[in-house]
Chains A and B, each alone.
Chain A
Amino acid sequence: MIPVYSLGLLGAFASAGIAFYALMRETDGLHRLLLTDLVEVVTLAFIALLGTDLAEALILPGLVVGVSELIALSEIFRIKEGYTRPPADTLQIEVMNTAPPILAALLVIYGIILSGFSGGAVAGLGVIFYFLSRDPGERFELIETASGYSWVLWIIAFFIFMVFPQHWFFAVMLAGSAILVKVMAKMSLIGTMRGDPDA
C-alpha cells in the first residue's frame, strides 16, 4: 500500500513540474505573472499535506507572501508597460447616495464590538462601501498613516507575548484593537482606489 503522504507529494511534485514547465515555455510578461498563481497554489499544497494545526498556521504566511508579491509586481508591470490611464467613472445608482452613512455606521459599530481580525473585516466592509459611494478626496494618506501606526502597535503586542508572557491579556487586547484598525484601513483603500478623484 502506498502511504497517503507520499501519494500527496507525488501529486504536488507533478503539479509543480507542470506549472514550472508552463512558466518555462511562456514568454509574454503578463501571462508569466498569471502563471505564478499556478505555482503559488502548489506551494500551499506542500504545506497543507502536513495536516496538522501547524500546517494551517503556516499556510497563512505562505498565502500572504504570494499575494503581497503579486501586488508589488503587478504595479511594476503597469509602470513598465506605461498603463497610466485612470479607470472610468464609478457606478452611480440611487442607493449609493442615501444608504452609505447608515450602513457604514452599523457595520463599523458591529466591527468594533467584535474587534480583532473579523471585526476589522466587518468594519472595513462598511468603510469600503462608504468610500465607494462618496468622493474619496485626499483621505488616502491619512488612512495609510493610521494603518502604519496600528501595524506598529500590533508588532509591539507580539513582542509583549514573547518578552513579557505574563502580560498576555494586555497583548491580546492590544493586538485585537490594532488589527481592527489595520484591517479596516487596508480594506478601505480598496474603496478609494476605484476611480479618479477628478472623474
Chain B
Amino acid sequence: MPDIGGSDLFVLAFGDILHYFNPYTATLFLLALLFTGLVIASRPERQLDIAFGGDAYYAKMTTVSEMRFRRFMAIACGLASMGAMASGDIFNFTLFVSLVGITNVGIVSAVRIRHVLNAAYEYGIVAMVATLPLFGGAALILGTTGTLSIQALAAGGFAVPLVGKALLALGVIGEGMAPFYAAKAEMFRAPGAPYVIMCSLSSLLIFLRVVEIVITI
C-alpha cells in the first residue's frame, strides 16, 4: 500500500478506535488547531454596505447572542475537524465529518438574511443526504474486509472495493462541499468574518484527509 502520509508519529488508543498522527495529518491537525485558536481570540468583522451614488452606508449589526452562538459553532467545527484529522477508524472519521457538516450549517443558520438562509438550507439538505455515501461506504468497506481500522487496512492483505472508496469520497464532498466553493460563496456573504472562513477551512481539511485515507487503504 502506498504510504503517502509518512510513518506514524504517535498513536492514541481508545478501545477499538485508534487515533494516530503521521506528518501529513499532524500538519492538518495543527492548521485546524491554529485556526480554532484564532476563532476564539478574534472579534467578528462588521459589514458595511455602501449605497451607490451617495455618501450613505448601512452598517449590518450582529447581536451579541448571535455572535456567541456562531462562535460556539465555529469552535465546535474546529474541534470536529481536529477529530477528523486524527481519527484512525473509518466509521469514527465519517461521524466527525458529519459533525463538521452540521456545524457548518449551524454557523450560517443564525444569520437573518434571507438569501443566506436559503443557501444554508440547500447546503443542509446536501449535508444530510451525504450521510448515505459516507456511512454506506464505511459499511461496504467493513463488509468486504471485516475491519474498520485504517491502520489494519493499510497493513495490506485486504481488497477494498473501488466503489467503497468512491462512496466515502463522495460523502466527504457532500458534507464539506469542497469543489463547490462557488455555491458556498452565497453563504460567505453572511457577516462575521472568522466564523464563515471556518466553514471553508474545515471542508478543505476533511477533503484533504479523505484523499489520504482513500489512497492509504
A and B touch in the complex (CB under 8 A): yes
Given contacts A65-B131, A66-B131, A69-B102, contact A50 B95 (CB under 8 A): no
Q: Is B127 interfacial (CB-CB < 8 Å)? A: yes
Q: Are A36 and B109 in contact, with the CB atoms below 8 A?
A: no
Do residues A20 and B117 form an inter-chain contact, with CB atoms below 8 A? no
Report yes or no: A36 in contact with B142, Cβ–Cβ below 8 A: no
Distance in Å: Cβ of A130 to nearest Cβ of chain B: 30
Interface assignment of A173: CB less than 8 Å from any CB of chain B:
no
CB pair B124–A80 under 8 Å, yes or no, is: no
Is B135 among interface residues, defined by CB-CB distance under 8 A?
A: yes
Identity of the chain A residue whose Cβ is nearest the Cβ of B14 in the assembled complex = A162
Distance from B92 Cβ to chain A, minimum over Cβ atoms (Å)? 9
Interface size on A, residues (CB 8 A): 37
Is B124 a contact of A69 with CB atoms below 8 Å?
A: yes
Question: Considering only CB atoms and an 8 Å cut-off, how many residues of chain B contact the other chain?
Answer: 28
- Shortest CB distance B26–A (Å): 22
Contact across chains for A79 and B117 when beta carbons are under 8 A apart: yes
- Please report whether the interface of chain B is mostly helix, strand, loop or mixed according to DSSP: helix
The reply to whether A49 and B143 form a contact with Cβ atoms under 8 Å apart is yes
| B139:A46 contact, CB within 8 angstroms | yes
Number of A-B residue pairs with CB-CB distance less than 8 Å in the complex they form: 91
Cβ of B136: which chain A residues have Cβ within 8 Å of it? 12, 16, 42-43, 46-47
Whether A29 is near chain B, meaning CB under 8 Å from some CB there, is yes
Q: Is the C-beta of B68 less than 8 angstroms from some C-beta in chain A?
A: no
Kindly state whether residue A61 has any CB partner on chain B within 8 Å. Answer: yes
Complex contact B143–A39 (CB within 8 A): no
Check A42 against B132 for contact (C-beta < 8 Å): yes
Task: Tell me if B91 and A58 are in contact (CB < 8 A).
Answer: yes
Q: Are B135 and A62 in contact (CB under 8 A)?
A: yes
Bound state CA distance, A68 and B140, in angstroms?
24
| Chain B residues within 8 Å of A58, by CB | 91, 135, 139
A46 and B125 within 8 A (CB): no
Closest to B99 in A: A65
Q: Is the CB of A32 within 8 A of B106?
A: no
B132 proximity list for chain A (CB < 8 A): 16, 19, 39-40, 42-43, 46
User: Is A169 an interface residue when CB atoms closer than 8 A count as contact?
Assistant: no
A40 in contact with B131 (CB, 8 Å): yes
Q: Contact between B142 and A72 (Cβ–Cβ < 8 Å)?
A: no
Does A153 sit at the interface, judged by CB under 8 A? no
A-B residue pairs, 6 tightest by C-beta: A46-B136, A80-B117, A46-B139, A47-B139, A69-B128, A43-B132
The chain A residues found within 8 Å of chain B, CB to CB, are 5, 9, 12, 16, 19-20, 23, 29, 32-33, 36, 39-40, 42-43, 46-47, 49-50, 54-55, 58, 61-62, 65-66, 68-70, 72-73, 76-77, 79-80, 161-162
What are 8 inter-chain pairs, A to B, with CB distance below 8 A?
Answer: A16-B136, A50-B139, A65-B135, A66-B131, A69-B101, A72-B106, A73-B121, A80-B114
| Residue positions of B touching A, CB distance < 8 A | 14-15, 91, 95, 98, 101-102, 105-106, 109, 114, 117-118, 120-121, 124-125, 127-129, 131-132, 135-136, 139-140, 142-143
